[in-house]
Structure 1
């Protein structure tokens, strides 16, 4: 057959490309988005190959319905990235490529509106001179609008700046957010010749801008960045090393909490943009709630950076349209800094020159459903692919990254001291709960006497305290003392959590919810009571235990609404909170200037977990939350309540000895043949019965016998997962591992066709480098 044919990647588990006939007037090219018929529906795919021949019979070939000409084609480097991710994580190319795109791009019905020209306002040369003098001194809203125009605009060379350097200016929607009467005001400024209105094509790339000199007056308001702190000697050495890298260099920036890792990032970016005005940078953070504070710091520092959208954020909490616009700004090169969570690692950045992964140890960088990829590992591969430096920052690096640095594969940069001159690491005290009990010093609902006294002392001194408990809700279970009944989820093999403010029992695994019963459903006893404690109960206890204290709780329940987390953290920074109670959301990344005390509750449970990574996670968690104390010169103190104060983990924590903990744990892992000394993969199966899930895994294990590469792979017995049943679906897993990564991946590739042929499971998945076993 002759003609033009395209091979398209679709979001489908079959590991193949799909052939289509292309009769469009526009010539297709690899990387272009195409709308194609697929079964009884329409689907959007990515064209990976263009050819003049197809092996599919003509009568079976269907034609491409539409090409997305408005969107610049995805680059060869991006296609290579998603192909690598698919090969490594055992997924088809389309299962990686399509979910990496914003939802709006995957809906052809939204293409016309998505790529409709946007209205942008720009200052003219006359406006730059006349507008500052024409604004009343007290017209703060008008001055904000004018400052935003100055900050977003490139300096034109004439009164009509159209085409001066591509699409710059202030978006009409952003203008309306700054001033309630922005449209009328900007129209008046147009009539005066101070402003011009442009319509900018969203999908078109703009020329790479350089740094923008801002006009005095308005510019001073637009770029009112805080004074840059003087770098310490350690920070300066780190920045110099990163700036000097001209090829792929993976840096492990190991800095204690409060050592100024963010300042190193900022200076490294500054050096990058000075050397390469057209460059782009990718900055990854582990959680959505960290993006607002990072974005504020970056915008303040780089207010004068060129381009119409110099800094954009990308995360799953954004609205579809908002995320699509940010993605397109990165894809076309208009966004110079892309700040985001793990999904941003797959963003299209044509001029990417530096990748930064903050809190690189955080498990949140590993996707736990769908494509189970590690954003940190893909960031490293992407740096190697492009020949650019990658910076991994953490006070408690993952043992995998630490081991790579020990082997010389990563270059270690150390910040051993806090950046603020009079700030020292907090003192860690271990409160022995068994000793407290023997001495007759009973705790009040989980709050020991020493911790209660310390909280009251901080309140009297006007300082803030933080109480950390990584368990949300009021209590982990509701129980009956008479018959031993425990409130369980009818759909899961798990207890339901009591949420007292909502008067509800809620399953944190499947979402099932019910009202709190008036009596025990088994024996009728009305004296049912909560067992254990969560953040809601601790919040209630502290309000009674520390009279007069303003107690605030921050967890997944209190931050459900968009923007709520940012508002609550603002209250803490403003000094409107005396005691902050929270889960891991408050443990990392936040710079609480007034916090001088951290209390840790219920940390011991992780010491007895079946997961060999539990100790590493606990140590990182405790080090991170301890680092919230004493950051601004106030003497910091950390009280950890435990029944095992002589445990090696707590002793290392008291010494702030990450290096000693890492060396001891790596020695244990080496002796036990655990990662990073072996490579693992996990086959999971879900079925209507546990027997069905285990039977599928047994058949899968038997299928390995005929695979040559499997001779170098160890296969363990299939076992039920820790939470066996979730939403009436039973789950089991089978672990395979090898000392050779190549042998493991070859085995998995050869194994998949056999697994697809098996029956009995509702769903099954393969996960490479699992974190939760």
Structure 2
């Protein structure tokens, strides 16, 4: 007797296959079982699903294919994982298969029973270190926060100043859980890959290598498979990962930590555009796991949730030991000579640090040598032929590189338009800033008489494997006097010798059309400031310098006081008046086509047809407009904003509008996607 199964398979977004397909099996298989199934001419990995999700025509089709086989030795994915995927698919308007199979390691499909047994068997002489029992003593604030966390259900927002010891609270929370429950698992999430190694080092030291595994997109397929199996079987008690780890199969999950919960990196920007932070909250509800969000500058959504009592706020306002937050100094660039990059005052302050053997951090959120290369004789600029953006000049390898599509060319010897040999960089990136600072400090010496050591840390300088670790090691060893970097240097790093942080060119976000720009800027500046003053002996002298053309802006007044609550209150008041998130709810429909006209025509047609969709009276549809970067890789992009004062009403409308969007797609439209709760508009 054959058994009919509902199986979720990998499908492209908005394909005709949106739910499970029907297959036959000689044996009944439980939901969550991993199987190999034929799909077209391929054999793919699938997940057995609840057959109640099968459409009627799939239940009665006569020529249903049989599965190729089940993965022996791999326990079925549990019900909570299935519910998490189903919710994500529904809320973020993506296919079940797209969400489910993206969460699984690709090599699972090719795994034989023998290979599986070999991977699960730990060699007798394995890399497992003994866990350390030398945990540092908690501060009174840490003890209070941890006690409140242990006593109630949450979710929790740990609002802790940079350097207040949030990581130690995470470690103690995990340690307490593992001591109470011999099977319990914990998921600890960080926003970016480059923060994983240092966190993993601390967790391995505390709990032993055999209990900890990492999970991020930078891993190879074999590494990802090994990590997934360790979590799925329960061998790994602790998973440290980036946003993708929110879908890790952890059958005994009891604790979820989301560090730097405000970070936009938790929002997926392609495929299923999910928020890993929000899904962590939902997963906690499904499994009964406690959820702890941590940040020195929480997202306004999470902050408002604590105001409303949906989350419990835990506060750690003081730094561990005698460290203190740096004093903030504003430099009015209106009073500086034209073309000034480093004000005289800032340059003197950097020189003082060098003389004392201390470190400085210069923050500029723009990589490359210069954002544009331009001709001095005609209007030619280094535009990308494939995108509506400029190619960035990288002096180190003499290339013009588009940071959107990757198109790269050698720098021309003369202007391609008029032949003028005098083509020059316009603006500054970190590479040019590093060079300029080297020129300004050429005659400055360290206390021992040696030349000043300047380093740069950005996506270009750390591209080669191991480069980031080398740069961090140099900083921690004191082999760098001045570090120039992008926002990657402002997050999570514990640089003990830095006593000065300077932010250049931060003003552009003050008047952005994106209503979230001030929130991101304030968070970035607060995080950058947090790199200074961590060592008690140097804390008194630590400073944060901000060069600005708008020193009277209220954002800087809050920054000078390190007053996030005041900044949040002002921003939330403005958001409420405008009906913006978290007081209103948004979705974007983005379309890509060969022409801008085709992209906008698709959106406008769908908008007109939306009036007949149930619930259209509860939403506002704005006009279709080009995206801020209109063309990428020769594809034109447009978007349409949808707003509603009710999350439920917006979801009901999107559900009814989805088939309308599918039907409105015409020739020339390459793809379209819905982005629920977008972070950038």
Please list the CA deviations of residues 297-345 of structure 1 after superposition, one character each: whole Å capped at 9, or x if unmatched.
Answer: 1111223xxxx83000000001111111111111111111100000000
Matched residue, 1:244: 151
Partner of 2:327: 427
Structure 1 residues 264 and 543: CA distance shift in structure 2, 3 A: same
For 2:59 and 2:19, how far apart are their aligned partners in 1? 13
* Residue 9 (1) aligns with residue 8 (2): yes
- Residue 607 (str. 1) matches residue 510 (str. 2): yes
In 2, Cα distance between equivalents of 1:343 and 1:572: 30
Relative CO higher for 1 or 2, CA cutoff 8 Å, sep ≥ 6? 2
Residue 117 of structure 1 and its aligned partner are, at CA, apart by 4.8
Deviates more, 1:258-267 or 1:692-701: 258-267
- The 5 Å alignment of 1:128-143 reads none
Partner SS state of residue 309, structure 1: helix
CA separation in 1, counterparts of 2:639 and 2:123?
57
Deviation at 1:34, TM superposition (A): 1.0
Q: Does structure 1 conserve the Cα–Cα contact (< 8 Å) formed by 2:120 and 2:229?
A: no
Check if 1:694 corresponds to 2:600.
yes
Residues 293-332 of structure 1 aligned to structure 2 (within 5 Å): 293-303=198-208, 309-332=210-233
After superposition, the C-alpha distances for 1:581-606 in whole angstroms (9 at most, x for unaligned) are: 11111111010000001011110111
Q: Distance in 1 between matches of 2:57 and 2:373?
A: 64
Gapped runs of 5+ residues in structure 2? 443-450
In structure 2, what is the Cα distance between the partners aligned to 1:48 and 1:111? 22
Is it true that 1:667 corresponds to 2:568 in the alignment? no
| Inter-CA distance 109–331: structure 2 relative to 1 (3 Å threshold) | closer
Whole-Å Cα distance in 2 between the matches of residues 114 and 336 of structure 1? 20
Deviation at 1:230, TM superposition (A): 2.5
2:461 is aligned to: 558
Relative distance call for 1:588 and 1:73 in structure 2 (3 A) is same
Give the equivalent residue in structure 2 for 1:47: 48
Q: Does 1:65 align with 2:64?
A: no
Shift of 1:223: 4.5
Match for residue 172 of structure 2 among 267, 270, 293: 267
Which residue does 2:305 correspond to in 1?
Answer: 404
Contact 1:4 1:50 in 2 (8 A): no
Q: Is the 8 A contact 1:475 1:537 kept in 2?
A: yes
| Offset at residue 3 of structure 1 (A) | 2.9
2:37 is paired with a residue of what secondary structure?
Answer: strand
What TM-score results when the alignment is normalised by the length of structure 1?
0.83
Q: Which one has a bigger Cα radius of gyration?
A: 1
Q: How does 1:512-661 map to 2 (within 5 A)?
A: 512-547=407-442, 548-633=451-536, 634=538, 635-661=541-567
Match of 1:98 among 97, 101, 107: 101
What secondary structure, in the 3-state scheme, does the structure 2 residue paired with 1:418 have?
coil
- 1:73-84 equivalences under 5 Å are 73-84=76-87
- TM-score, L = length of structure 2: 0.94
- One of 667, 679, 683 as aligned partner of 2:589: 683
How much is the aligned-residue C-alpha RMSD, in angstroms?
1.8
Instruction: Indicate the SS of the match to 1:620.
Output: helix
What is the CA–CA distance in structure 1 between the aligned matches of 2:259 and 2:564, rounded to whole Å? 17
Task: Confirm or deny: 8 A CA contact 1:455 1:546 kept in the other structure.
Answer: no
Q: 2:316 aligns with which of 398, 405, 415?
A: 415
**Alignment match, 2:673:** 765
Within a 5 Å distance, the mapping from 1:176-575 to structure 2 comes to: 222-223=130-131, 227-245=134-152, 247=153, 249-303=154-208, 309-420=210-321, 422-437=322-337, 446-547=341-442, 548-575=451-478
How far apart in 1 are the matches of 2:44 and 2:430?
45
Maintained 8 Å contact 1:96/1:371: yes
Structure 1 residue runs without a partner (length 5+): 123-169, 176-218
How far the C-alpha of 1:384 sits from its partner, in A, is 1.1
- 2:662 corresponding residue in structure 1: 756
Aligned to 1:738: 644
- State the Cα deviation string for residues 608-633 of structure 1 (Å, max 9, x = none): 21111011000000000011001111
- Separation in 1, partners of 2:608, 2:89: 25
**CA spacing shift, 1:461–1:111, aligned 2, 3 Å:** farther
Residue 388 of structure 1 deviates from its aligned partner by 2.4
Out of 63, 67, 86, the residue aligned to residue 89 of structure 2 is: 86
